[in-house]
Amino acid sequence: MPTANANYVDGRWSESTAGGTFETTNPADPAETVATYQQSTAEDAETAVSAAARAQQGWADTPAPERGAVLRETASILADRKGEITELLTREEGKTHAEAGGEVGRAIDIFHYYAEKSRDLGGTAKAASGARTNLYTVVNPVGVAGLITPWNYPIAIPAWKIAPALATGNSIVVKPASIAAGGAIAIFEALDEAGLPDGVANVVTGPGRTVGDAIITHEDVDAVSFTGSGEVGHLVYDKATDDGKRVQTELGGKNPTVVTDSASVAEAADVVAAGAFGVTGQACTACSRAIVHTDAYDAFVDAIVDRAEAIEVGPGDAYEMGPQVSEAELEGTLEYIDVATTEGASLRAGGGRPEGDRFGEGYYVEPTVFADVEPSHRIAREEVFGPVLSVIEVEDFAEAIAVANDVEYGLSASVVTDDHGEARRFVDEIEAGVAKINDETTGLELHVPFGGVKDSSSETWREQGDAGIGFYTIERTVYDAY
What's at 209, amino acid-wise? R
Classified as helix, coil or strand, 107 is: helix
Are 405 and 428 in contact by the 8 Å Cβ rule? The answer is no
Q: What is the pLDDT of residue 1?
A: 59
255-437 is classed in which CATH architecture?
3-Layer(aba) Sandwich (3.40)
Q: Which CATH architecture has domain 3-251+457-481?
A: 3-Layer(aba) Sandwich (3.40)
Is residue 91 helix, strand or coil?
A: helix
Q: Please, what is the Cα angle at 380 between 376 and 382, to 5 degrees?
A: 105
**0.85 exceeded by pTM:** yes
Could you check whether 3-251+457-481 and 255-437 share the same CATH topology?
Answer: no
69 φψ region: left (φ > 0), alpha (ψ -120 to 50), beta (else): alpha
Q: Which residues touch 238 (CB under 8 Å, ≥6 apart)?
A: none
pLDDT in tens, 91-117: 999 999 999 999 999 999 999 999 999
Residues of the chain with pLDDT under 70: 1
pLDDT digits (tens, 9 = 90+) for 126-156: 999 999 999 999 999 999 999 999 999 999 9
Among candidate residues 6, 203, 251, 284, the one labeled active-site is: 284
Distances (CA, A) of 323 to 28, 287, 311, 315: 6, 18, 13, 7
The residue among 57, 254, 89 whose CA lies nearest residue 184 is: 89
The DSSP secondary structure of 93-150, one letter per residue, reads: H---HHHHHHHHHHHHHHHHHHHHHGGG-S--EE--SSTTEEEEEEEEE-SEEEEE--
Give yes or no: 284 in active site.
yes
The predicted structure's pLDDT at residue 370: 98
Q: How many residues does the chain have?
A: 482
For the chain, domain boundaries: 3-251+457-481, 255-437
